[in-house]
Structure 1
Amino acid sequence: MRRAAAVAALAVLAVLAVLLPAGCGVRPSGVITGGPAPRAAGGWVRLYLVKDGTLTPVLRRADPHTRPTQTLELLLAGPTGDERADGYTTEVPPGLGPVAVQAGELAATVAVAGDPVALSATAAGQIACTVVDAVSADPAARPRFTVTLTGPGRSRGPERCPRPG
């Protein structure tokens, strides 16, 4: 009986000795890049909030057919409770709305109810980045995309997103 157990143990060790060097069957390869980060699509929009003084993209659930104006209204509503708990803030004043967005190939105009000139540079950046992400389907065009903010008798811009999209 001892001999049978020893033979079985040796058989198991022999099988392991053959299988272990084989690993999981994944062959080594060079570095594989995944390309640019995916855009927020299919039920998500990307808003730009502030965390530790830096513009930071945040994904928010939304209808897949959300329009740029609706995305900007989400930004005007400010961070959710969970986002605030995670340290996100905003410099976009809530009284800036209602808003309207008209977009072209490399430029958009955002009409706001408040004074766009009174916005901080960070608030203007939040708006510009959120709009650029909402309307520009071409990641290569985003650095050239401009956003002009217009309000009652005043305008600001063109602004560019200070972050790469």
Structure 2
Amino acid sequence: MRRRRTRGLLALGAAVLLAGCGIRTTSVPVDAGAAPSRVPCDVADGTAGQAGQGLRLRVYLLCGAQLEPVERRSPLPEEKAAGDPVRTASALLAQLESEPSADEREAGFSTAVKGPLVVSAARKGDPAGTLRLSRQPEDLPATALAQIVCTFAESTPGTSAADRSSVVLGGPGRYEPRRYSCTRELKERPESAVPSAPATAS
């Protein structure tokens, strides 16, 4: 009897201590749910392994709030795009504007680039390699511009290997084109402002 009374007093004391700490006792198990899962950001096999004709392209899509590369195939024949920055940039832009495939959506990919958007050649007096967009680059959503800059910088022919981290873009108006940089920080935070600097004519 004494042992039973001692155990009862100990249980009562523990309950008082828990109540004093602000912790509510419960006999019901608490289910916090499954741990949050991360999207894979990886398309099985990739487009590079697909058979077929056309130009193989590498574009940057949004996945997990970052920019991640995806390989696509354009119906544009490779021989027609070779050495033609405007033609290649147009093919890249079309891929950025198109909705991700079912496999890409399942892997977590999306795009912020919305049409209509057109690429045209440089004007007289523009720096070499300039690409003109039908909208002023600064007027585009930050994530869309980040996708375009990183895709163009790494995939447009005529860009030297030492300068594949930037691209010179202009708009339809009289504003001078600027050099936009694709940095590691931009890939990690595409919603931030795209680094840019005045482009030097050559």
- TM bracket, shorter-chain basis: 0.5 to 0.7
3-state DSSP of counterpart to 1:131 = helix
1:34-113 to 2 correspondences below 5 Å: 43-62=55-74, 63-65=77-79, 66=81, 67-95=88-116, 97-102=117-122, 108-113=129-134
RMSD, aligned CA: 3.1
Please, which runs of 5 or more residues in structure 1 have no aligned partner?
1-39
Q: Whose Rg is larger?
A: 2
Q: Describe the superposition over 1:49-95 as per-residue Cα deviations: whole angstroms up to 9, x where unpaired.
A: 11011111110023434423222222122423332222111121223
Amino acid at match of 1:100: S
Displacement over 4 Å in runs of 4+: 152-156
What is the match of residue 8 of structure 1? none
Structure with the higher strand share, 1 or 2: 1
Segments of structure 2 that go 5 or more residues without pairing to the other structure are 1-47, 49-53, 82-87, 186-202
List aligned pairs for 1:1-165, cutoff 5 A: 43-62=55-74, 63-65=77-79, 66=81, 67-95=88-116, 97-102=117-122, 108-136=129-157, 138-143=160-165, 145-152=166-173, 157-163=178-184
**What is the DSSP-based 3-state SS (H/G/I as helix, E as strand, rest coil) of the residue aligned with 1:92?**
coil
Residue identity over aligned pairs, in percent, reads 30
Give the conservation status (yes or no) of the 8 Å contact 1:77–1:94. no
Provide the rounded CA distance (Å) in 1 between the counterparts of 2:145 and 2:152: 11
More displaced 10-residue stretch of structure 1: 153-162 or 73-82: 153-162
**Cα distance in 2 for residues equivalent to 1:114 and 1:71:** 16
Give the TM-score of the pair, scaled to structure 2.
0.48
Count of aligned pairs: 120
